[in-house]
């Protein structure tokens, strides 16, 4: 996202201010990249998301503006646009609209999965917040094998995969709208997941496999096991997108 904005002349190192609405993980990636290139960063984060991620962004020089839990990412995006209007040299890098977001996974994560499994992929189970990972990965894989099935792990309370809006604690996946970066045509099946399931399997990943991951990872694993219990066979790829040390305050691990 940063590289493409520079190539288009939208931002200038050492001068531009980058503003981004984020649940935290994309913000952290931007914070690392911006630090190297000398950009000031402002991140707009709903209060729902863990203080650990916000502390890390601050440690990397980012400024944090919080919005309400209830307003979700729509309110955060609107606040980011307001900040850009009132801040000289500010540019919004909106992961929900910037198509370089799924492009990064089309060029990176998708080929990694395909190569590691020698093309023997039957299902990909992943959550979606902006949808960049889901869209980029499935686009790459389906171009090579149209029979690859994209399975969306979607929290109960998220309307992205259908259902009624409601509150949920799983971080980083689910939404109240379909972002520009989420191509729903790659979704072959939606599996709804609960907070309890996501937290349970996050703990199981740590205790049984030594994999320290967050609630969106636990949710994806829960959806994958439901898929298999329903009779799916073959190679099931599960995307685990978050690290557990960013969620100590969420009591994921018992």
Question: Residue 105 maps to which CATH number?
Answer: 3.40.50.1100
Rounded CA-CA distance 153/31 in Å is 27
Residues 78 and 114 in one domain: no
Chosen domain end from 72, 92, 112: 92
Residues 37 and 80 in one domain: yes
Other C-beta atoms closer than 10 Å to the C-beta of 170 total 29
Residues 165 and 88 in one domain: no
User: Which residue matches tokens 């996974």?
Assistant: 105
Residues 199 and 222 in one domain: yes
Q: What is the DSSP letter of 125?
A: E
Chosen domain end from 65, 92, 119: 92
**H or E, element range at 204:** helix 195-204
Give me the domain span that covers residue 44: 2-92
Non-local (6+) Cβ contacts of 75 within 8 A are: 46, 67, 68
Query: pLDDT tens digits, the chain, 254 residues: what are they?
Result: 898 999 999 999 989 999 999 987 888 999 999 999 999 999 999 999 999 999 999 999 999 999 999 998 899 999 999 999 999 999 999 899 999 999 999 999 999 999 999 999 999 999 999 999 999 999 999 999 999 999 999 999 999 999 999 999 999 999 999 999 999 999 999 999 999 999 999 999 999 999 999 999 999 999 999 999 999 999 999 999 988 888 888 877 76
Kindly state the tokens that stand for 114.
Answer: 């395909």
Chosen domain end from 92, 113, 138: 92
Residues 74 and 125 in one domain: no
Rounded CA-CA distance 20/9 in Å is 18
Kindly state the tokens that stand for 47.
Answer: 């209060």
Residues 82 and 188 in one domain: no
Q: How many CA atoms lie within 13 A of 180 on its CB side?
A: 10
Comparing C-alpha atoms, which of 174, 29, 158 is closest to residue 93?
Answer: 29
CB 39 within 8 A of CB 62: no
Residues 180 and 71 in one domain: no
Residues 152 and 222 in one domain: yes
What SS3 class is residue 124?
A: strand
Domain count, the chain: 2
Residues 30 and 112 in one domain: no
Residues 81 and 117 in one domain: no
CB 82 within 8 A of CB 103: no
Kindly state the tokens that stand for 102.
Answer: 């799924």
Residues 115 and 212 in one domain: yes
Q: What is the pLDDT of residues 155-179, one digit of tens each?
A: 999 999 999 999 999 999 999 999 9
CB 48 within 8 A of CB 69: yes
Q: What is the pLDDT of residues 120-145, one digit of tens each?
A: 999 999 999 999 999 999 999 999 99
pLDDT of residue 157: 97
User: Which residue matches tokens 């992205």?
Assistant: 160
Residues 142 and 169 in one domain: yes
Find how far residue 181's CA is from the centre of its chain.
11
């Amino acid at each position: 996202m940063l590289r493409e904005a520079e190539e288009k002349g939208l931002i200038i190192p050492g001068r531009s201010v980058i503003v981004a609405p984020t649940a935290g993980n994309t913000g952290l990636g931007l914070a690392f990249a911006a630090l190297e290139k000398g950009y000031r960063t402002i991140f707009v984060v709903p209060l729902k998301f863990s203080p650990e991620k916000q502390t890390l962004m601050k440690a990397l020089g980012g400024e944090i503006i919080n919005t309400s839990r209830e307003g979700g990412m729509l309110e955060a995006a609107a606040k980011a646009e307001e900040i850009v209007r009132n801040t000289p040299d500010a540019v919004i890098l909106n992961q929900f609209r910037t198509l370089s977001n799924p492009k990064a996974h089309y060029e990176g994560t998708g080929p990694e999965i395909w190569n590691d499994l020698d093309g023997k992929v039957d299902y990909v189970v992943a959550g979606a917040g902006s949808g960049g990972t889901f869209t980029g990965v499935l686009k790459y894989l389906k171009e090579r094998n149209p029979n690859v099935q994209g399975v969306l792990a979607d929290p109960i309370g998220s309307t992205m995969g259908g259902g009624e809006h409601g509150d949920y604690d799983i971080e980083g996946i689910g939404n109240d709208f379909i972002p520009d970066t989420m191509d729903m045509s790659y979704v072959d099946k939606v599996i709804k997941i609960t907070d309890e399931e996501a937290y349970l399997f996050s703990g199981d990943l740590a205790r049984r496999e030594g994999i320290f991951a967050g609630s969106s990872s636990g949710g994806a694993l829960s959806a994958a096991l439901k898929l298999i219990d329903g009779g799916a066979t073959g190679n099931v790829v599960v995307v685990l997108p978050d690290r557990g040390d960013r969620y100590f305050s969420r009591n994921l691990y018992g």
